[in-house]
Amino acid sequence: MKQILHILAKDARHLRIEILLSVAVNVAFALACPASWRAAIEMRAFTSGGAYSAFEAQILVRILELLVPASWWLLISNLIHDERLVGNRQFWLTRPYEWKKLLAAKLLFLLVFLYLPLLIAQCWLLSVAGFSPLFYFPELFFNLCLISGFLVLPLVAIAAVTSNFAHMTLVILGVLLSIVALLAMTGRINLATMTLPWEAGVDVALLVGLCGAVIAWQYSSRKTRASVLLLVAIPVLCFGLGEFIVPSQVFVGHSYSFSDSAAGAPAQFTYTPSGLDNPVSSAARLPREVSIQIPLDVSGVANGSVVMPDAIRATVESTGGFRWNSAWQLLHVRKITPDDKTARVSFDMPLAIYDRLKSAPLTVHLTMALTQAQAGGVTSVFLPAGGFSVPDFGVCSPQAGFNDPGEVGGISCLSALREPHLTQIEVVAHNKSSGCDPAETNFGVKNATWQGSLSSWPADFGLSSVKFPYGIGPMSGDYAGEVGSYLHLCPGTPISFTRYDVVRRAQAAVTIQGFQLPALTPGQRSVITNP
């Protein structure tokens, strides 16, 4: 321990400027965050004069959000390169340094001068937002683990295999360019393919394991070439396996169970041709691809639950025997509630396939990956004049009105460390004519919105411990089909927050016989061929 503290003291003394810089940027970020929350709320409310200052505050936070990791980059580079592992002329190589103690000293340094200021800033932000930091220690710890996995450990690993800041910078730029190139190559940058619910967890575990192994290996053996090989080869191998050799798509079956009977699925889908809502072809997100949108009838969603179509896979077969299978593709479809009767799903197909199949009657087999969530705890509040707390959701406050800042136009909420759990917020708003008469019992228009996600992670990756803003935004009559008649809330208006949790993930299928691909307009075709 003595040697660890001795090296730590030396590093702290040598790197005092870098430490000060890092802490200063961290403090600036923490101070700028609350202003940006207020600004974001103002932006949503469109209060007069608020938008410009809101924009400035948001930009400042974004810049500081980049400067914090940049200051870590400098700090980590100088810290690791003070006893650099690459080369054979370093003074420390022939001194009684024990690699475990050297590594421990470096990690302790990061704990004291990187993690601790960040943790203090995060606790302070929670406290400013109205959360008690003491209740969020596991989440804070998880967030620090994510920051370690995505930022700190990769920086330490790269510093361990490079000889100086310039070398490290070049490597990081190379890594970033490679990632962008790989993402662009596989189309992920367009978010066209789906990721499985557990993929992010596996990615983080792999990253932490890999970086940890490289750091330990390099400190124990200083075999830089082998460490670099490990650092490059394993991600490339994993990426190659994931994207090209064993597509993650094959794991969809394990994550989304398939029931032989249609009734076993969270929702049943059928296709009924009707004159009111027809299939449509249009330009897809990727160039030279056509998006086919098909309206489906929906039934069988259990009461108190909601179904989210996550992904779709299409098999299209012509009478001539030609068959085309799509990969699993992300679906951007609104949540399906028991009241919903229809849903419009879409999949993308290459233009060449479309042209080959467009004139013949087809058999289309659609398989959808669905997540079913069930309503759980309900929190009901009567809108107070000031802020209020909603368990499992966040800290909320009334928000200025759309036209009249003196009026409550909605509610804005901050959540701690992660997006809130998937929550349906229901409110019955007043219309302009009813004012805020306490005697008014018929409030007017029922309004509902969904917020949050079904992620099971206790915290999202991010430097700020507070996520913002969630809730019901400024209300206009558009919600209720009464254009021009603006809605608002009043003190005492009842608001309910219903939390939804994942019940199961399953597949549902529908087969459409004799389907004719809808025609592309010349304009759409032109967009597809000349993106």
Partner 1 sequence: MNPAILTSGLSRRFRRTIALDGVDLSVSEGAIYALVGANGAGKTTLIKVLMNIFRPTSGRADVLGADSTTLSGKAFIRIGYVSENQEMPDWMTVADLLDYCRAFYPKWDRSLEQQLVRQFDLPLKRKLKHLSRGMRMKAAFATSLSYHPSLIVLDEPFSGLDPLVRDELIEGLIERATEATIFLSSHDLAEIESFSSHVGFLEQGHLLFSEEMSRLTERFRAVTVTLERTSPLPANLPSAWLQPEAADHVVRFVHSNYSEQAAAAEIRSVFPSARDVTMDPMTLRSIFLAVAKSSRINVSSATAKNSAKGIEA
Applying CB under 8 A, which residues contact partner 1? 2-3, 6, 10, 14, 82, 87-91, 93-99
What the block records as the tokens of 201 is 């967890």
Residue closer to partner 1 by CB (options 166, 205) is 166
Q: What amino acid is encoded at 150 in this protein?
A: F
Min. distance of Cβ 91 from partner 1 in angstroms?
Answer: 5
Return d(Cα 236, Cα 242) in angstroms, integer.
10
Q: What DSSP assignment string belongs to 408-451? A: EEEEEEEEESSPPBSEEEEEEEEEGGGTT-TT-----EEEEEEE
Min. distance of Cβ 165 from partner 1 in angstroms?
Answer: 15
Min. distance of Cβ 221 from partner 1 in angstroms?
Answer: 9
Min. distance of Cβ 236 from partner 1 in angstroms?
Answer: 25
Residues 388, 394, 395, 401: is their CA dihedral positive or negative? negative
DSSP 8-state symbol, 318: E
Give Cβ neighbours of residue 138 (< 8 Å, ≥ 6 apart): 458
List C-alpha distances in Å: 265 to 252, 299, 469.
15, 10, 34
Min. distance of Cβ 162 from partner 1 in angstroms?
Answer: 15
Under a CB-based contact definition with an 8 Å cutoff, are residues 493 and 427 in contact? yes
Give the residue carrying structure tokens 């000889």: 163
Q: In which order are the strands placed within the sheet that holds 466-472?
A: 388-390, 394-400, 408-416, 466-472
Give Cβ neighbours of residue 199 (< 8 Å, ≥ 6 apart): 248
Question: In 3D, which of 369, 368, 357 has the Cα closest to residue 515?
Answer: 357
Return d(Cα 212, Cα 235) in angstroms, integer.
14
Residue closer to partner 1 by CB (options 100, 446) is 100
Q: Which residues pair with 363 in a beta bridge?
A: 317
User: What is the H or E stretch that residue 330 is in?
Assistant: strand 329-330
Residue closer to partner 1 by CB (options 94, 261) is 94
Return d(Cα 291, Cα 282) in angstroms, integer.
5
Min. distance of Cβ 97 from partner 1 in angstroms?
Answer: 6
Min. distance of Cβ 84 from partner 1 in angstroms?
Answer: 9
Give the residue carrying structure tokens 């650099």: 84
Residue closer to partner 1 by CB (options 160, 422) is 160
Q: What amino acid is encoded at 422 in this protein?
A: L
Return d(Cα 504, Cα 164) in angstroms, integer.
50
Residue closer to partner 1 by CB (options 2, 341) is 2
Residue closer to partner 1 by CB (options 19, 126) is 19
Residue closer to partner 1 by CB (options 78, 397) is 78
- The CA-based angle 241-244-247, given to 5 degrees, is 75
Residue closer to partner 1 by CB (options 99, 479) is 99
Min. distance of Cβ 72 from partner 1 in angstroms?
Answer: 21
What the block records as the tokens of 137 is 């220690």
Residue closer to partner 1 by CB (options 81, 313) is 81
What the block records as the tokens of 496 is 């309910």
C-beta atoms surrounding 445 within 10 Å: 17
Residue closer to partner 1 by CB (options 94, 433) is 94
Min. distance of Cβ 60 from partner 1 in angstroms?
Answer: 34
C-beta atoms surrounding 24 within 10 Å: 13
Min. distance of Cβ 15 from partner 1 in angstroms?
Answer: 10
Min. distance of Cβ 17 from partner 1 in angstroms?
Answer: 11
Question: In 3D, which of 156, 179, 151 has the Cα closest to residue 461?
Answer: 151
Min. distance of Cβ 12 from partner 1 in angstroms?
Answer: 13
Residue closer to partner 1 by CB (options 56, 98) is 98
Residue closer to partner 1 by CB (options 8, 168) is 8
